Structure 1
Amino acid sequence: MDNIGTLELAWSQGYNGGQVYYVDSDVLCYQCGRNIKMVAEDGVETVFAFKGRGIGPITVHKINKHIAIAEQCLNPKIYIYSYPTFREHVVIEDAAQLEYQKLVFSSSEYMAGLSGLPDFELILWNYEKGIKLSSVKVGSSLPTSFSFNPCNWREICLTTSDSITVWITEQSHDKYVMQPQNVRIPVADPNCVEDDEKDHDRAPTRASTRMTRYTVELPKTAVAGLVGDNTTYLEHIEDTTVRCSPVSQAWTPSGDIYIGCDGGQLIKVNDEVFKARVIYYPPQRAETPHSRASSAVEPSSRKTTLTDIQPVADDVGNLILQGCLTTLTLHRKGLYAAGEDGILRLIDIKGKEFRILEHCNIGEDVTSLSFSPNYTHLVLGTSTGSLHMYQPGVPDSLKLLKRSHFGDFVGIGCLAQASDCIISAREDGEIQGWSYDKGLLMSSLSVKTPVVSLSCSPILQI
């Protein structure tokens, strides 16, 4: 190899539906294999070959134009690069033992990360100085969303499928401590009546004695002799109520948090008292106009749903159903939401009534939403490997930015010598032709059947 030099990466293609970030005013980036792919709004593509040992989660600071990339190996490091030069800005070491699950930047000079096995810690750094400020155990549940308060770096919201926790960073000179504020998740069924959460974990009080005139209230966890994380585990065991399952989040400038749930519920968390309430329940299947199921329920005993506010429309874009809140992002016009049904919706959060202000049909499962720094363009990533661009407030402005089709490769081959095209086959039957000089997708064909191998003729163009 010394005689022929080193190999340089010419191009890389592929998008798996992961998070897409804006790294510049008109340039977005995403993870492409073990590389970072940059795509400009005008279609120009570049790729950065990461030299670390494997690639884990990435995140982007759109203000400072920094890209953080975690390794996927023993004792992984976090490399932070400056865009567009990709100069190594800082390297963070000795924080996780095996892996990082998520990374996120604040709006200033701080970064937080979630480590996986065996640590399961939330870690806070001043990344500009490369200093670890604090860390705390968060449990082994898989995170579903994770972000800083954009107006206050001392608040971090972490959700799992069965918990919402806001971590508050307290500081005394150069000492930092993160304290949790656990938010009780509302029930998933709007017809389920739940008692007030006060005293929900209290055992019967002990009567006063001659020694004292005060009663003693004993929590059930104290009766059971549990301390630490086991106290929360006991509450989960005793709670048999079906509750909402958080999957996405979006902060407001006032510090409130909107949380989208897997069942289609939309939750608002008050930042002052850390209490959650459901502002929208998806309509039940039996709830149709003039149906017996809906008329049998007294109006005073039913929760407010979209069917109470507006008539049931044939256009599903005016409804939010299960799986429609997989990803959220905030705009001055309202809250943009998208999910499995492939419809982008703008939710009015300023008025007293829940309304859908606009909607746009993408046609594919949306997994990522990202605004440009000036909030004039919204990029949507889908699970099928396509990127779409949308202009807020203009429903007909949707355009396809890139489509590469996502799926595992099962074969690749070159055509005859006179051709500059290479052919690849994916396991779902997608046959694609690529220009090996520029990496452009020249053509594609679906055979609509699973493929296990590919063979190209060295003589004929077949």
Structure 2
Amino acid sequence: MSLHVESALGYHGSPLAYSDRDTIVTICGNALRFHNVTNKQETFLWGADRGVSTFAVNRKSKLVAYAAKGEEPTIYLHQLPDFQLLETYTEIAELDVVGIAFSRLGDRMVTVAKEPDQKLIVWDVENGKKVVESVTTVEGEFVTVCPADADLICVLGNGVCTVFEIELNYKQYEVIARQIEFEEEFVPICHEWIPGGFLYIGCEGGQVVVANAKTGQLLPCGEGCNWANLYAPVCSLAVHKDHLLVSTLNGVLRFFEHAALEDSHSTLNMIEEIQLVGEEQELEVTAMAYNPTFDQLHFATNEASLFKISLKGDSMEEHPDLSPNKRFAAVTPVAEYHCGAVTGVVALPSGEHFASCGVDGTLRLWHARSRALLHKRQFSSQQSSLACSASAGMLALGSSEGVLRLLSFKAGGAEGEPQVTYRSRLHDKALSLLAFSPSGLLVAAVGADGRMFVHSSGL
């Protein structure tokens, strides 16, 4: 017997990358999920070990590399789109690999390991051998290679941004580490490259600064570039060929014209601002990625939601989803998943739908094949268990506070929103297991306090 995975639901903070114009790659469980945003089809590259810690894609050479989780991890290099295994890399780290990056042409791959060794290794992709190896001064969180110069590598983590430059001396490669010098109020969070060996760096205090990677110096801001007006920590950056996109923790996206790097100064001008949440609310954009043609961007949030940004072309007909009052960009929700652990999932009698619950306090109804979220109901506490009775047309939902709820989905059919018909606090700890009798007349509830109750479902 074999099982074929048709689709996956969920997002938990992984990077986003495009493998081609229409396909987004994310980590999903022990796999890389390749989701085609046009036809909604999904394919999976399954991890060979104990999970996937990070990955990178190179569209130029059609490569994808991922690192396995755990001690002494292996990195696997595959060819796209058929996932042919090209190479495995070992002796990389004692513990997890935290970052992988390709050079623009895909001829080099850079890996960064976490503590205790904190190795930075540059690999020759063609022969699978090390070009050079170094050690980062702090544990890195993000690594990138300069698109215009493969000898420049930026590693950022724990408030430290370091540029590593590779030099060839007497037929042997050496690494020069150059830490970007920040003033005390600037704590770097994220970075992106600009053509010419410069870096945009987003900071915890709401500043975005420009640094010269060759010298390690920040460029002074020109007139009109007072980045204190962002008012909230910078979460992520994305570089378009024509502009810079900045997201901040207060749920605001801002588009800026690229810095005019003249006379050793940097000046940026804002094009448009988009508010994703209400004032005084927080929303962290965890990852952003433009497609290869730069007319569309997807981004993900810490609330496990995915969004699409459509950029306006020469005519409104090119992007019909743009509202008339938006002259530059429009944001469209793509998917909303459970935020945190999923604690229960059951199939509904229709065979086309299923329900799930999670620590985010929600009960959700899904269409299995389309992966569409049909209904979401928010409760005040974490939900810890779920059961379904086909004969009773009922769901049993247990919470982390020991509350049992019975919900009927008979009235609206399989797609109808479940209605609460019964509620009782049975336990003083979480309800860990729920089960209906075959007739649906009885429901058993087991709590983390070691007690079990059997209830009539009220039919």
Could you tell me the TM-score, scaled by structure 2's length?
0.74
Aligned residue for 1:176, secondary structure, equals strand
- Determine what percentage of the aligned residue pairs are the same residue: 21
AA at the equivalent of 2:330: S
Structure 2 match to 1:251: 193
Unaligned runs of 5+ in 1: 189-243, 282-302, 308-318
- The structure whose residues are more often helix, as a share, is 1
1:458 Cα offset (Å): 4.2
1:272 Cα offset (Å): 4.0
Distance 2:258 2:7 in 1: 43
Kept in 1: contact 2:180–2:218 (CA 8 A): yes
Question: What per-residue deviation string (whole Å, max 9, x for no partner) do you get for residues 232-257 of structure 1?
Answer: xxxxxxxxxxxx21111111111111
Structure 1 match to 2:217: 275
Q: Relative to structure 1, is the Cα distance of residues 332 and 304 closer, same or farther in structure 2, using a 3 angstrom cutoff?
A: closer
Q: Relative to structure 1, is the Cα distance of residues 117 and 414 closer, same or farther in structure 2, using a 3 angstrom cutoff?
A: same
Q: Relative to structure 1, is the Cα distance of residues 392 and 422 closer, same or farther in structure 2, using a 3 angstrom cutoff?
A: closer
Q: Relative to structure 1, is the Cα distance of residues 157 and 49 closer, same or farther in structure 2, using a 3 angstrom cutoff?
A: closer
AA at the equivalent of 2:191: Q
Aligned residue for 2:392, secondary structure, equals coil
Aligned counterparts, 1:413-432, within 5 A: 413-416=346-349, 418-432=350-364
Structure 1 match to 2:33: 37
AA at the equivalent of 1:119: D
Q: Relative to structure 1, is the Cα distance of residues 437 and 378 closer, same or farther in structure 2, using a 3 angstrom cutoff?
A: closer
1:120 Cα offset (Å): 1.0
AA at the equivalent of 2:111: G
Aligned counterparts, 1:346-425, within 5 A: 346-351=255-260, 353-363=267-277, 364-392=283-311, 394-416=327-349, 418-425=350-357
Distance 1:427 1:267 in 2: 38
Higher relative contact order (CA 8 A, sep 6+): 1
- The equivalent position to 1:320 in structure 2, one of 230, 233, 239, is 230
Structure 2 match to 1:335: 244
- The equivalent position to 1:305 in structure 2, one of 216, 226, 232, is 226
Determine if the alignment matches structure 1 residue 136 to structure 2 residue 134: yes
1:86 Cα offset (Å): 1.2
Structure 2 match to 1:452: 384
Distance 1:174 1:25 in 2: 39
Distance 2:148 2:132 in 1: 20
Q: Relative to structure 1, is the Cα distance of residues 158 and 59 closer, same or farther in structure 2, using a 3 angstrom cutoff?
A: same
Kept in 2: contact 1:266–1:279 (CA 8 A): no
Q: Root-mean-square deviation (CA), in Å?
A: 2.5
Aligned counterparts, 1:17-32, within 5 A: 17-32=13-28
Kept in 2: contact 1:36–1:50 (CA 8 A): yes
Distance 1:155 1:304 in 2: 26
Kept in 2: contact 1:425–1:454 (CA 8 A): yes
Aligned residue for 2:91, secondary structure, equals coil
Structure 2 match to 1:235: none
1:144 Cα offset (Å): 4.0
Q: Relative to structure 1, is the Cα distance of residues 454 and 378 closer, same or farther in structure 2, using a 3 angstrom cutoff?
A: same
Kept in 1: contact 2:113–2:140 (CA 8 A): no
- The equivalent position to 2:125 in structure 1, one of 124, 127, 144, is 127
AA at the equivalent of 1:360: I
Distance 2:93 2:267 in 1: 46
Q: Relative to structure 1, is the Cα distance of residues 435 and 174 closer, same or farther in structure 2, using a 3 angstrom cutoff?
A: farther
Q: Relative to structure 1, is the Cα distance of residues 174 and 423 closer, same or farther in structure 2, using a 3 angstrom cutoff?
A: farther
Aligned residue for 1:398, secondary structure, equals strand
Distance 1:306 1:168 in 2: 28
1:419 Cα offset (Å): 3.9
Kept in 2: contact 1:100–1:115 (CA 8 A): yes
Q: Relative to structure 1, is the Cα distance of residues 419 and 359 closer, same or farther in structure 2, using a 3 angstrom cutoff?
A: same
Could you tell me the TM-score, scaled by structure 1's length?
0.74
Determine if the alignment matches structure 1 residue 15 to structure 2 residue 11: yes
Q: Relative to structure 1, is the Cα distance of residues 12 and 41 closer, same or farther in structure 2, using a 3 angstrom cutoff?
A: closer
Kept in 2: contact 1:428–1:448 (CA 8 A): no
Kept in 2: contact 1:111–1:126 (CA 8 A): yes
1:65 Cα offset (Å): 2.2
AA at the equivalent of 2:40: V
Kept in 2: contact 1:379–1:388 (CA 8 A): yes
Question: What per-residue deviation string (whole Å, max 9, x for no partner) do you get for residues 316-346 of structure 1?
Answer: xxx41221x2111222332211132222111
